[in-house]
Amino acid sequence: MQTSIDVKLTEYDLKLIEKDYDRISVLIDDTKKLNRVCRRINKLTKGAVVRAINSDEYEKKSCGEVLSISFPGSITAKYIDLIKWVKPGQLHDARKAGVNLAKLSGDSSVLIYIGSQKFSADFIKGYLLRQYSFSEYKTSKITKSRSATLMLNKPLDFKKSLEEIKATVDGVFFTRDLVNEPANILTTVEFSKRLQKLSTLGIEVEVLEEKQLSDLGMNALLGVGQGSANPSKVVVMSWKGGAKSVQPLALVGKGVVFDTGGISLKPAGGMEEMTMDMGGAGVVAGTMLALAKRKAKANVIGLVGLVENMPSSTAQRPGDIVKSMKGETIEVINTDAEGRLVLSDVLWYAQERFKPSGIIDLATLTGAIIVGLGYENAGVFSNDDNFCKTFMNAAALENEGAWRMPLAPAYDKKLKSRLADMKNVGGRDAGAITAAQFIQRFIKKDMPWIHLDIAGVAHTKSESTYAPSGATGWGVMSLNRLISDKFEDIK
């Protein structure tokens, strides 16, 4: 499992500038009055810093962008990075600055000085998030270790913040690793094994096998995986950091390790990307890891349904009718609308067993949400305005795009089945909404619920705000902040 790079905290010391670092990075918040570090670098480079910040190239840069000076005079470092800061900069500008520096620094050892800049935590968070790479299956591997030394006026005061940042980043990286893995490696069996290793962090992990799922009546979930040689599983992860009397928040993730569409087979073009169809389960797993690493004072249950949707002689057919754990019957019109079948049983099980105070499900559920929102925002559906507002605020603070979508009884009419209690699809129009309406049928009355359709944000072909192309880890930071702000220290 990949973790965030090593960050060393050190006290303010001008002598460090002349040490053997690959890069020295400084924040320029006042071009008229340079801080002591910048003045020292400027002297050693015979005025290069002043010439650079007065150049047209620097002037054209926006807040958080970086101008680099190559092989700067008598300084040992190969590069001096000048980070432009325009007052009053905001949280997201600091994140952007960290990301931009990380993209430049690569496999370097970096000395960073940002003075008393109040967004230092967000700067280093952006820096660490963008230091991710997935090269597990490349024969030519990176061997040089990356490191950052953060020079602060009061480093001890920043130690706790850094530990919490690294815990969150490690959770994001765990999610990215899982989502980036190919399906021949990350089978349902391998996925469950990796989740079982979270027990070393104090998370209680339980794996429900097919016989147990059948006894529980999870026929909707089992129907999705019945065409695969890989067994279906449900993994339950429990973090008990809060008071015993407090009911947990439940996080539920769709974990389709590969989605061919089943008998309703997808087109060949782009099908290789369906290794990411377990993105919801990946986010739940990464969030649980982050909570455990920072020892969150909250009770949270993470549940993931792990299946593989394959076409075979035993696969579920269009027209099949299955009985869910809730007891209601579902006519399977399209076997490629499988994620909602998985979620329906796991959501019902979570409510029946754990009686949570609220429930959030995450799934790479529909192509329709991508048509509506592109790759910038996840679709947010909820039956509780206050719960939803709290999540939206957390997502905004973490700069993870989210947009609330409607729910209404009128959409339920599209799920009416002639043969069963409901069908699993409602047609092409409003596809993401009817999918959410389907899932809502398995949410108990008065249960605060949020459904996150992350099909557009879990995995991108080009780089995203905090990640290179591929898995983004979207959602871990927002859920972690939501739990920190609203579910910790409740008595």
Based on the fold, state whether residues 401 and 472 are members of the same structural domain: yes
Report the candidate in 114, 135, 143 with the shortest Cα–Cα distance to residue 126.
114
Rounding to the nearest 10 degrees, give the CA dihedral for residues 416, 422, 425, 430. Answer: 50
Based on the fold, state whether residues 337 and 454 are members of the same structural domain: yes
CA–CA distance, 238 with 169 (Å, rounded to integer): 20
Tokens of 156: 């001890």
CA–CA distance, 346 with 361 (Å, rounded to integer): 10
Based on the fold, state whether residues 79 and 38 are members of the same structural domain: yes
Based on the fold, state whether residues 124 and 217 are members of the same structural domain: no
Q: Are 155 and 162 in contact (CB under 8 A)?
A: no
pLDDT of residue 39: 94
Residue 242 lies in a domain: yes
Based on the fold, state whether residues 321 and 397 are members of the same structural domain: yes
**Global pTM?**
0.97
Based on the fold, state whether residues 279 and 410 are members of the same structural domain: yes
Based on the fold, state whether residues 250 and 352 are members of the same structural domain: yes
Based on the fold, state whether residues 189 and 136 are members of the same structural domain: no
Full domain range(s) for residue 317? 169-486
Residue 158 lies in a domain: no
Residue 1 lies in a domain: no
Write down which residue in 120, 150, 180 finishes a domain: 150
Residue 156 lies in a domain: no
Residue 115 lies in a domain: yes
Report the candidate in 402, 398, 405 with the shortest Cα–Cα distance to residue 376.
402
pLDDT of residue 115: 79
Based on the fold, state whether residues 145 and 178 are members of the same structural domain: no
Based on the fold, state whether residues 398 and 254 are members of the same structural domain: yes
Which CATH number is 115's domain given? 3.40.220.10
Q: Are 410 and 106 in contact (CB under 8 A)?
A: no
Based on the fold, state whether residues 98 and 190 are members of the same structural domain: no
Q: Give the number of domains in the chain.
A: 2
Residue 164 lies in a domain: no
Residue 161 lies in a domain: no
The residue ranges of the chain whose pLDDT is under 50 are none
CA–CA distance, 262 with 260 (Å, rounded to integer): 5
Tokens of 11: 């006290």
Residue 345 lies in a domain: yes
pLDDT of residue 74: 84
Q: Active-site positions? A: 266, 340
pLDDT of residue 491: 67
Based on the fold, state whether residues 326 and 451 are members of the same structural domain: yes
Write down which residue in 119, 150, 181 finishes a domain: 150
Q: Are 80 and 26 in contact (CB under 8 A)?
A: yes
